Structure 1
Amino acid sequence: MHPLYIIYFFLSPLIFIIILIISLFNKKIRAHLMMQNKTIQSALNTNLKNPIIFHAASAGEFEQIKPLLRKRSVNQPILQTFFSPTIYNKEKKSKLFDACCYHPFDFPWSAYYFFKKIAPKKYIINRHDIWPHHIFFAKLFKIKIIYINANLKSNSSRLRPVFKGFHKWLFHQIDIIIVPSDEIKKRFIANFETTNILTFKDTRFEQIKYHILKNTRIPGIDNLLKKKNIVLGSIDRHDWSVILESIKNTKLDKFNLIIVPHEINQKFINSIIADIKELRLKVDRITNINHKNNTTKPENVKLNCIIYDKVGDLLDLYKYAPLAYVGCGFSTGVHNISEPALQGCYVSYGPNISLLDEAIKLKKHKLSKIIYNSADFTDFTNIENNGFLIKNREKITKLFKGKNDDFNKLINRIYEA
């Protein structure tokens, strides 16, 4: 047992008190604390026998797990756990699992109670959400632990000297670690001497392909002018300041914009609308467009720009454009570039890409464009060569495809006895 874990163990009562205090000001933590035991008891009432626990902290992590849940055997009970109240409330009635509950906060008493009562066959954790007490007690109860879509950045805090030994001990408690690339595998082996590690394609790609095949239509997009569309996905103020300088010159003469803010922040959206109207261009929110189109006399105004002030549709929006700019590359780090790439877009993004392997990979293979300033964005908007776009799409599909039998092998690993 590592000394840092012992310290963490004895600090648990203090951490519990701190979380109680924070919950007074944070409604999500408060909701989780209030409902945690009730949801676990509800799961127990379903009388699942030795279920497999799948854990997803957030909506994004649940998207990664969905392909695995769709392939489960009807004879294998599944308990799905969530940490975020947002995704719990949205998905608690899903047919992809037999029962769900909040994942307990990481205290030794809650981890012990959880595994003692549920008696799972396997405990499957995903991406980043690794809780030391739950790993320790799962191991104590001889529950098989599988860590899927595991990631380890070259600058991860787990590699700092004070934490490295602790994480080496922690990862050695896990039965199987599954990583999405050989680079990450080498990083685990070099830093933690892990031997129980396998490489399989990130399950997120399976979910993206599944969603693309559904070909969901987005109403209101046909209100744009008959020009090329460019999607600005998950942008923040830093992105917009660069893009705005570009469109002040181009006046959107050759293309339309579909703007999807990183967060539905009304102040930010209002500022974008004001900026566009100042250029004498036509813009509206998708919520307004759909409301007008549902009236008896819908307006037939063609727009230069749509502000998409709804959540959950970004992947589907990308199919309406040959070009996509993915945001937050001038601030916290570029967001998901796999979705527009697999939808067939030629992708651009700001320079902060160190946290996203897919963005680094596209840059390495010269299959995307890095935007450093407004002139770069203008160059990006001028891309018209259909032959170039088709070849780029084919190369990206091949790059992200992986081995054909990867997913089936992963399914076998997850559900084998």
Structure 2
Amino acid sequence: MILLYTIALRLYFMAIYIAALFNQKASQWINGRKSQQLIHINNSIWFHFASLGEFEQGRPILEALRTLHPDKKIVVSFFSPSGYEIRKNTPLADFVYYLPLDTAKNALQFIDAIQPEMAVFTKYEYWYHFFNETHKRQIPLYIVSGIFRPKQIFFKWYGGLHRKILSFVTHFFLQDQASRQLLESVNVTNTTVSGDTRFDRVWANAQHPKQIPGIAQFINGQKVFIAGSTWPQDEALLATLPQLYPDWKFIFAPHEIDEEKITNLINLLPAATTIRYSELNSSDQNLKSQISNLKSIIIDNIGMLSSLYGYGNIAYIGGGFGVGIHNTLEAAAFGLPVVFGPNYQKFNEARELITLKAGFSINDVHQLKGIVDTLVNDEAFYSVTGKKAEDYVREHVGATEIILKKIAPQSS
């Protein structure tokens, strides 16, 4: 089984290597790993995140351990360039690396270099050789905000190697009871249902919102529709809204911000009333004087969205017409009703927000217009949905405290 695992990884590496010839993200994945040099340290705390979303999810634990152990070096690793490139200079870590490909040699060299006394992985990513190496060295390995589903390979008849990977984990901190029951079905019992640390992160963010230069001037006291982490399929529907609601402002924050994607989005919107965020700081005095009269703004940078929701009244969360929706909780924490596409079933919080009638799934432009029209014109309905969204987040805060009592008991 390990041979098949190794072959699959090699094939994956080859596919990315070929893709790197014409894809910037794949190129960063290859070149970033090729160029990095490990610095040897002692007694670090190692955090691994798949990408930027998992970084934000695990951030409350990272911040807490940084505070509790100021003498320890913090090592952060990422699998994806979208996490590494944006957080490679984070002050929360002493060293930030790409996680090398999961081979026995790479795992040995990486762990030899960083010498972790604890490893924390957020949500998922189960790597045989890295987990095995921590297990052999008796380094505590924790999964936080873990979540499992019946279709995963761990629960298939052919998933023996992946069940072995689970056995290397010291303790699982899970989002829900269903995940615990699935793990118990394969004789994994070292679990705690702690909840999802994302609630802690988004709630803290909403309580101390950041002010974003230029946004208040653009809004000019009007109500705001925020479209976050959108993809082209979302944007084709959303572009119909600005003309329907002339008294509203629209903020689009695409998931991908390369020039082609931004240009395509601009072309969907009325050019005379649309601006890029990067243009807000223009020295053009005529442009500055017209900002409050603009209708739509396109965010052409990464890292601003979680604060932008603080300016909003309704949020649309992208990704639901693709592999799955993005983070609904960031908007809900600010008391915004959230709307998203049909592919949301893998996300507990989306299902629960729908049950509470604080979240709404749409399949087409007609359903989008219908729910937005109700939220815009029925003030009582809008107020109730927003409060339900905010209450839902507040009531689920607390996972970080539960986890810290286990992995850093001196903090209790």
The answer to whether TM tops 0.5 is yes
SS at match of 1:162: coil
Q: 2:249 aligned to 256, 271, 280, which one?
A: 256
Query: Per the alignment, do residues 215 and 132 of structure 1 end up closer, same or farther by CA in structure 2, a change over 3 Å counting?
Result: same
Residue 56 of structure 1: aligned partner: 49
Q: 2: CA distance between counterparts of 1:351 and 1:319?
A: 25
**Which residue does the alignment assign to 2:63?**
70
Corresponding residue number in structure 2 for 1:410 = 403
Question: Given the alignment, which residue of 279, 288, 299 partners 2:289?
Answer: 299
Q: Are positions 1:28 and 2:28 aligned together?
A: yes
SS of the equivalent of 1:106 reads coil
Q: Residue 399 in 1 paired to residue 389 in 2?
A: no
User: Do the aligned residues in 1 keep the contact of 2:309 with 2:331 (CA within 8 Å)?
Assistant: yes
State the 1:17 CA deviation: 7.9
- Residue 236 of structure 2 contacts residue 268 of structure 2 at CA under 8 Å; is this kept in 1? no
- The code of the aligned residue for 2:139 comes to I
Question: Equivalent residue for 1:312?
Answer: 303
Q: Aligned residue for 1:137? A: 133
Aligned counterpart for 1:189 among listed residues 184, 191, 209: 184
Matched, 1:148 2:148: no
Residues 272 and 56 (structure 1), Cα distance of their counterparts in 2 relative to 1, 3 Å cut? closer
Aligned to 1:372: 363
Q: Specify the alignment match of 1:83 in structure 2.
A: 79
Note the 1:90-109 alignment, pairs <5 A. 90-109=86-105
Using the alignment, how far apart are the partners of 1:287 and 1:111 within structure 2?
A: 41
Question: Distance between the aligned counterparts of 1:255 and 1:308, measured in 2?
Answer: 17
Of residues 2, 15, 38, the one that matches 1:5 is 2
C-alpha contact (below 8 Å) 2:154/2:163 kept by paired residues: no
Partner of 2:116: 120
CA distance 1:230–1:175, change in 2 (3 Å): same
Shift of 1:338: 0.8
Identity across matched positions, percent: 23
Q: What residue identity is the alignment partner of 1:113?
A: Q
Q: 1:13 to 1:86 in 2, by over 3 A?
A: closer
Q: Deviations over 1:233-252 (max 9, x none)?
A: 1222212232345556x2x3
**For residues 346-357 of structure 1, what are the structure 2 equivalents within 5 Å?**
346-357=337-348
Q: Is the 8 A contact 1:224 1:305 kept in 2?
A: no
Q: CA deviation at 1:346?
A: 0.8
| Cα shift readout 1:58-103 (whole Å, capped 9, x = no counterpart) | 2222222321122222244433223345544554444323444433
Contact 2:335-2:388 at 8 Å conserved across structures: no
- Structure 1 distance, partners of 2:99, 2:77, is 5
| 1:362 aligned partner | 353
Q: Which of the residues 209, 230, 235 maps onto 1:215?
A: 209
> SS in structure 1 opposite 2:327?
coil
Q: Which secondary structure state, in structure 2, belongs to the residue aligned with residue 300 of structure 1?
A: helix
Q: Unaligned stretches of 5+ in structure 1?
A: none
Aligned match of 1:179: 174
Instruction: Work out which of the two has the higher radius of gyration on C-alpha atoms and give 1 or 2.
Output: 1
Alignment correspondent of 2:323: 332
Query: 2:275 matched to 1:284?
Result: yes
The alpha-carbon distance between structure 1 residues 236 and 343, as it changes in their structure 2 partners (threshold 3 A), is same
| Secondary structure of the corresponding residue to residue 354 of structure 2 | helix
Which amino acid is 1:303 matched to? L
Question: What amino acid is aligned across from residue 298 of structure 1 in structure 2?
Answer: K
Aligned residues: 399
Could you tell me how far 1:14 is from its partner in structure 2?
5.3
> Given the superposition, is the C-alpha separation of residues 12 and 336 from structure 1 closer, same or farther in structure 2, using an over 3 Å criterion?
closer
Give 1:273's aligned residue.
266
Q: Find the aligned partners of 1:13 and 1:375 in 2 and give their Cα distance.
A: 44
Indicate which of 237, 243, 248 corresponds to 1:242. 237
- Corresponding residue SS for 1:79: strand
Deviation at 1:198, TM superposition (A): 0.8
**Superposition RMSD on alpha carbons, in Å?**
3.0
Question: 2:197 touches 2:399 (CA, 8 Å); kept in 1?
Answer: no
Aligned partner of 2:192 in structure 1 is: 198
Q: Which moved more, 1:221-230 or 1:81-90?
A: 81-90
Separation in 2, partners of 1:372, 1:391:
23
Helix, strand or coil at the partner of 1:177: strand
